[in-house]
Amino acid sequence: MAQPPFPRPNDIITELDACTLEEAIVEILQKTVGRDPELNVDEIVRTVLAREQMHSTVLDNGVALPHAHCPAIERPQVLIGRSRKGLSSPQETAPVHLVFLLLGNSASTFQILAQIRPAVDNAATREALMEAETAAQMLKLLEQHPADKKPESQEEPSGSRPESLWKRLLANPVIGDFVFFLRQLAITVTLSKKLLLIAISSGIVGGVGAIMFNFCIDSSMHIFEGLAGIMPHPWLVALVPALGGVLCGLIKQYGGLPFDVPCATDGYVECVQHDGIVKPKTPFLLILAASITIGSGGSCGRECPTAYIGSGLGAIATRCLQFLRLDKLLGVKLGRRDFRLLAICG
């Protein structure tokens, strides 16, 4: 088997500044492919990220193999980035420390994947790559590990029993790629269950919140319209919005509604930035205050408080999922990224 097109030293980034895998892909492409003025780096970045979002290439050994078919790339390229601190990925797997980014046409990409997998699967090679001080040392380590050579830990001593049929099948690049596909399929199934759990939870709390909000608005308008109808003088109707303001002030004073944010949408953004954490009473108090304001004729619409109410109910759904342990029941793990997503969906 021919040697894979290992990168040049200037195509290896020894220490990435990125914190996530997506940021690392952008950084690698900008610092390597971005040097070529004839290539549209933004288009290549979109292609690689779209491929990664469609099907994750993160392995369970701290390595990611993002790849994409780029017609603009005439010669297949292997770009490498290393992160000693580790990169987070949407799959909540172990931190990614080595990123092998492959660019080429449809025929060459899978051939290169099969050629570099032996080096990626070798624990000693990965450890040596993490300890290398320069890009030249990393490149030398890769060149010393040919694609058709077995890792030292798998070499059989003389006189030992011949390897089993299963091991010979796994050594085949095609079978190895198929096993890799099955592993990625398992990750995709786990991600689908997680997204399904988030979608159902956000749909339930969103529907319940909409029903409660509309019911409170209709009730508030009915009460204040009846109050305005029994007033002896027409000019007293102007006091109805003031009465609504007094009631909202009492809700703030004794209910603890956080009116310190300039707008409900600002509170929504703050909720998302704080991993979807909101006090459980906040959305219900906001439903009551917004309903009183709208029903009494105050200057308020439905859209702005709806955003904050939805994020608050999403936070409550998060607490319910943690209490009921539904994520454990489905065999998935919900993290801070998922809690933010649930607040956004709410």
pLDDT computed for residue 313 by the predictor: 78
| SS3 per-residue string spanning 327-340 | HHHCCCCCCHHHHH
pLDDT at 152 over 50: no
Hey, what amino acid is at 308? Y
The torsion region of residue 92 among left (phi > 0), alpha (psi -120 to 50) and beta comes to left
Contact residues for 315 (Cβ-Cβ < 8 A; gap 6+): 271, 276, 277, 278, 280, 283, 339, 342, 343, 346
pLDDT at 270 over 70: no
Domain boundaries, the chain: 9-148, 192-345
Q: Which of 182, 296, 310, 181 is nearest to 241 (CA)?
A: 296
The predicted model gives 51-75 an average pLDDT of: 79
Could you tell me if 282 and 243 are in contact, meaning their C-beta atoms sit under 8 angstroms apart?
A: no
Greater model confidence, 104 or 174: 104
pLDDT computed for residue 298 by the predictor: 79
Q: Is the pTM of this model over 0.75?
A: no
pLDDT computed for residue 238 by the predictor: 77
Greater model confidence, 107 or 130: 130
Distance of CA 106 to the CA centre of its chain: 27
| pLDDT tens by residue, 17-29 | 888 888 889 998 8
pLDDT computed for residue 230 by the predictor: 76
Q: Write down the mean pLDDT value for the chain.
A: 75
Instruction: Kindly indicate the confidence band of residue 132, based on its pLDDT and cuts at 50, 70 and 90.
Output: confident
- DSSP conformational letter for 302: S
Antiparallel, parallel or unpaired: β 77-87 and 67-69:
unpaired
Which range in 46-55, 148-157, 177-186, 264-273 is most confidently predicted, on average pLDDT? 46-55
pLDDT computed for residue 95 by the predictor: 87
pLDDT computed for residue 281 by the predictor: 77
| pLDDT tens by residue, 205-235 | 878 888 888 888 888 888 888 887 777 777 7
Contact residues for 327 (Cβ-Cβ < 8 A; gap 6+): 194, 197, 321, 333, 334
How many CB atoms within 10 Å of residue 174?
A: 10
- Classify domain 9-148 at the CATH class level: alpha beta
Greater model confidence, 89 or 129: 129
Contact residues for 299 (Cβ-Cβ < 8 A; gap 6+): 293
Calpha distance 202→178 (Å, rounded) = 36
pLDDT computed for residue 260 by the predictor: 55
The predicted model gives 96-107 an average pLDDT of: 80
Which range in 107-111, 129-133, 191-195, 342-346 is most confidently predicted, on average pLDDT? 129-133
- CA 28, 34, 36: angle at the middle one, nearest 5? 135
Antiparallel, parallel or unpaired: β 12-13 and 63-64:
unpaired
